[in-house]
Structure formats: C-alpha cells, structure tokens
Amino acid sequence: MMANPYFPLAILFFAAMGFGLAPLGLAWAWASLVSPAKPNAVKNAIYECGLESRGDAWVQFRSAYYLYAIIFLIFDVEAVFLLPFAVAFTGLGAGACAAMLVFVLLLAEGLAWAWAKGILTWA
C-alpha cells in the first residue's frame, strides 16, 4: 500500500476534501446551535413581496419569444458592435472589414427573414 507512488496523492485528496467540507460542516453546526431554523408555511412561500404566492416558481416561457430575441439582437447588439467598428474604421485592414461585413450581413439576413415572416408589423 505504502509502496504505491500515488498514496501521498490520495492523502492530499482527502485533506483537500476536509478543507472544503469542514467549514461547511462547522457553519451548519454553528447555525443549528445558535440560530435554529424556524420555518412556517408562509415563510416557505416562493414569493416575498407580501402578496400571496400563485402557482409555481418553475414557469415556462413560450418558445415564440425567440422572435423578440432575434429582433433585439439585430437592432441593439448590432449597434453596439457597429459603433466601435465605425470609430476604428480608418485603421482597419481588409480582413477586419470582411469579418464585420459577414456579421452585418448575417444580421441583415435575419432582419429580411423577420420582415418576410411579417413580425415587424404590429398585430
């Protein structure tokens, strides 16, 4: 057993586990000693603004909201990248311009797609 060259590593592993777990255990013991938990039905409710909780915290978002994500990407995130691009435009090489062109065209394609799908008109 002692001859195994990995034996010190195993000891170090358990020591490291001890360093990680001991503070957690101490915190748990300390809390249960000096400040025991006192839960009740209202305290365990998922909502905490004073109003009564309704339903579950695990709500589902409709996947149709991806459209808003795409439009947001086109109109907001694109502007964030375009502005520094425009500022540094004179100092950029052909490669950087091509990369930016690809990025803008990809987003423009998304815009064309959204337009064709008719989601830009307010229903």
Chain residues binding other proteins by CB under 8 A are 34-36, 38-43, 45, 48, 50-52
Closest to other proteins by CB, 7 vs 30, is: 30
Q: Directed axis angle between helix 78-87 and helix 94-117, to 10°?
A: 150
Scan for tokens 């025991």, then name that residue.
36
Closest to other proteins by CB, 38 vs 117, is: 38
Closest to other proteins by CB, 56 vs 76, is: 56
Query: Which string of b and e fits 91-111 if b means at least 16 CB within 10 Å?
Result: eeeeeeeeebeeeeeebeeeb
Q: Are 72 and 111 in contact (CB under 8 A)?
A: no
**Cβ 24 to other proteins shortest distance, Å:** 20
**Cβ 51 to other proteins shortest distance, Å:** 6
**Cβ 81 to other proteins shortest distance, Å:** 35
